[in-house]
Structure 1
Amino acid sequence: MKYELKNPGKSWWVEGMIVEGEIKGRDEILEIGSIDICRLNKDIMSKEQIIECVKYPRYWWSKACLKEIKPTFTMLEKLLLEHQLEMGYKYITRDVIDHRLNFFKNKPITNRGVWFGKNENYYPVFDIYLKELYPFVSCENKEPTLIQDIFDRYEVTEKLDKEYILK
């Protein structure tokens, strides 16, 4: 998960700074290495701020200091997924061979990076030329992605990408 730091507390904190990682344990603490902080924020940190940050190898933040940044997908991607749900498709996958996106009504299985439906044909919708759609659906995923989970976890960006608009 990505988080934006809420309040500047250290001399090297910069407005808009983000950190990334999983919150562990009951105490809801995010632990992150200073190298990772600098890598994620190198475009907004000055050289002096980076030097201050790397003085300690690790930093810890409580959940109260963090604002979750939800991952996004486009309005076009949302509309395409809504259509697939209306058609009864519940899962989306990406094949290793040609990066093709597939939709399934029932939970599919994978064999050597190719997804197959149980007693159903897969529904290949997009080919390699549109592989930038749904980049979070990776051909390396071990499990299929439930379409409803995308709606629950991702936030829609306000505009349609111009490159996808068909006239």
Structure 2
Amino acid sequence: MKKQSIFFGVLLVGFGIFFLVDELNLKIAEHLYTWPLLLVLVGVALGAQCRISQDYSNVLASYILITLGGHFYVSDWLPFWPQHTSMVILMIALSFLLSAKKSKTGLFQGILLLLIALFMMFSNNLNQFAPAVENGVNYLATFWPILFLLIGLYLLFSKRK
């Protein structure tokens, strides 16, 4: 019960500061009062719970919320920040890689998602550098969701030893 109150306490403190800044009509609130910041607040609360209780089972969820919230927050303010869909996969890959340090799992998944995100980001540029494989790249770029589906189904239904 105490472990759960750590998360809820940190979450309530974060929400309290978030909404108080808005209620006080501070000039800083115009830039901070956004839904991506709420994702970051929940992620920080989960991270604080993991750190204080020394239970790192939710560290991946914490990193995912923080990186996705950070991405969506920064993408509104920096015009040069990539808006490509693959950035969501990249943020999740970074979350896996960061959580692998604490939880000792997810390194392979993080590297795989990182490679997928980089392929998605630069698949249009690959055609310029390798015209001989243009058809193959176009084919993969069109049907990559099916590859995700097949790998996911295999992971779900394969017998583990």
Q: TM-score, normalization: structure 2?
A: 0.20
Higher relative contact order (CA 8 A, sep 6+): 1
User: If each structure's helix is expressed as a fraction of its own residues, which one has the higher value?
Assistant: 2
User: If each structure's strand is expressed as a fraction of its own residues, which one has the higher value?
Assistant: 1
Q: TM-score, normalization: structure 1?
A: 0.19
